[in-house]
């Protein structure tokens, strides 16, 4: 389980999102390790989010990325035996709409089973593509905002039946050479995802 470094839901989401931006900026530049610029991006975004001068962007950009990747498994890149997968499971309140749906192959879907998406990531000890983590974070933020959970203490919501598991939001990211933006690396190479689009 992720070590919780923030007391409130909103601060935990912000910390995860800022670290995602750091990892994202390094992967885009094909870095093998994080440098000063990556840490500055994380710091600036985290401060901006906490001060209210920056916002978590809408999921619109993620929908564009999803369309560009085409019909592949968003977890492994396979184009075989595809079906739609709910990021937030319906049985826990995940919506049956485009924002919550992505393609997944039968093998990944079967491996994931009933696990939360990020719980599954932890279980398989391999980070999901960053664009999928970004989508998950945005869905988590939107759900918490709409259900007035952002200012709650993490310990107050951890036992609630929610469509996400706050304790699995990643805070620590592996080195950038172990990460990918998307399961379809060809699309990633031809697309610029700047920090401001996070």
Q: What is the mean pLDDT of each run of 10 residues along the chain (198 residues)?
A: 68 97 97 97 97 91 81 94 92 89 94 91 93 96 96 94 94 96 60 40
Burial of 139 (0-12, 13-18, 19+ CB in 10 A): buried
Tokens describing residue 118:
């990020």
CA dist., res. 169 & res. 192, Å (int):
25
**How far is the C-alpha of 140 from the C-alpha of 178, rounded, in Å?**
25
Q: Return the pLDDT at 58.
A: 86
- Cβ atoms within 10 Å of 100's Cβ, excluding its own: 20
pLDDT, position 5: 52
Q: Enter the tokens of residue 12.
A: 């935990």
What's the pTM value of the predicted model, to 2 decimals? 0.89
Q: Which two tokens stand for residue 147?
A: 């259900």
């Amino acid at each position: 389980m992720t070590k919780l470094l923030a007391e409130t839901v909103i601060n935990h989401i912000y910390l995860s999102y800022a670290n995602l931006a750091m990892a994202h900026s390094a992967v885009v530049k094909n870095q093998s390790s994080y440098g000063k610029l990556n840490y500055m991006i994380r710091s600036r975004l985290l401060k901006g989010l906490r001060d209210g001068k920056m916002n978590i962007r809408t999921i619109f950009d993620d929908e564009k990325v999803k369309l560009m990747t085409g019909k592949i498994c968003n977890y492994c890149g396979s184009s075989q035996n595809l079906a739609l997968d709910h990021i937030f499971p319906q049985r826990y309140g995940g919506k049956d709409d485009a924002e919550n749906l992505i393609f997944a192959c039968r093998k990944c879907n079967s491996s994931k089973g009933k696990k939360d998406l990020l719980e599954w990531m932890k279980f398989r000890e391999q980070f999901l593509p960053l664009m999928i983590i970004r989508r998950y974070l945005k869905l988590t933020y939107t759900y918490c905002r709409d259900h007035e959970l952002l200012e709650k203490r993490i310990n107050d919501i951890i036992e609630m039946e929610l469509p996400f598991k706050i304790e699995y939001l990643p805070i620590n990211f592996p080195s950038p050479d172990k990460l990918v933006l998307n399961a379809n690396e060809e699309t990633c190479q031809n697309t610029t995802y700047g920090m401001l689009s996070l």
